[in-house]
């Protein structure tokens, strides 16, 4: 694990993802630094859950908070997934725009102690799950919340690659 990835007060996660239709209805992880072993829930994860919409989970020791978008992204199309946290709200981003509604969240996340993973979640030191069934392009982790304009600009500057 690297201390720079132990984000607890502000962050932005971005990842270009193209889901494969074979993974419909499955949990699929883009970016993860989350620990949910034996009742401990720490860190962050950006994924698609069984509902096929962009989702996130953040943890603060014994509790976790889930937030989900509304757009079905199980469509064999490249999308830029995003999650920002500014100390007050969790915001999901899809293709540079706000996805769903902002979720008030004022707790600091707890450092997970797990490594940062792309395309899967580390359940235990030797077990990885919620594998991505599709393709992941570039991914970025920022230690601050990007603004709406910065998210949109990121999408517009990188979408030609996908």
- What contacts 109, CB < 8 A, 6 or more positions away? 7, 8, 9, 42, 43, 44, 58, 59, 60, 85
What is the pLDDT tens value at each position of the chain, 162 positions in all?
Answer: 577 788 878 999 999 999 987 778 888 999 988 877 766 778 888 999 888 999 998 887 667 888 999 999 988 899 999 999 999 999 999 999 999 999 998 887 777 878 888 998 877 667 777 888 899 999 999 999 999 999 999 999 999 999
Cβ atoms of 94 and 71 closer than 8 Å: yes
Cβ atoms of 19 and 74 closer than 8 Å: yes
What b/e readout covers 113-149, taking b as 16+ CB neighbours within 10 angstroms?
ebebbebbbbeeeeeeebebbbebeebebeeebbeee
Answer yes or no: pTM beyond 0.85. Answer: yes
The burial of 39, by beta-carbon neighbours within 10 Å (0-12 exposed, 13-18 middle, 19 or more buried), is given as exposed
């Amino acid at each position: 694990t690297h201390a720079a990835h132990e984000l607890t007060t502000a962050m932005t996660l971005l990842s270009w993802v193209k889901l494969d239709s074979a993974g419909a209805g499955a949990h699929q992880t883009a970016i993860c630094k989350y620990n949910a072993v034996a009742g401990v829930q720490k860190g962050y994860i950006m994924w698609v859950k069984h509902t096929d919409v962009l989702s996130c989970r953040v943890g603060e020791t014994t509790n976790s908070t889930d937030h989900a978008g509304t757009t079905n992204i199980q469509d064999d199309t490249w999308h830029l997934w995003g999650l920002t946290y500014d100390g007050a709200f969790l915001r999901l981003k899809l293709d540079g725009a706000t996805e769903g509604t902002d979720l008030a969240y004022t707790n600091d996340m707890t450092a997970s102690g797990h490594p940062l993973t792309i395309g899967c979640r580390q359940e235990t030191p030797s077990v990885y799950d919620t594998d991505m069934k599709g393709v992941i392009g570039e991914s970025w982790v920022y230690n601050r919340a990007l603004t709406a304009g910065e998210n949109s600009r990121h999408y517009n500057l990188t979408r030609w690659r996908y």
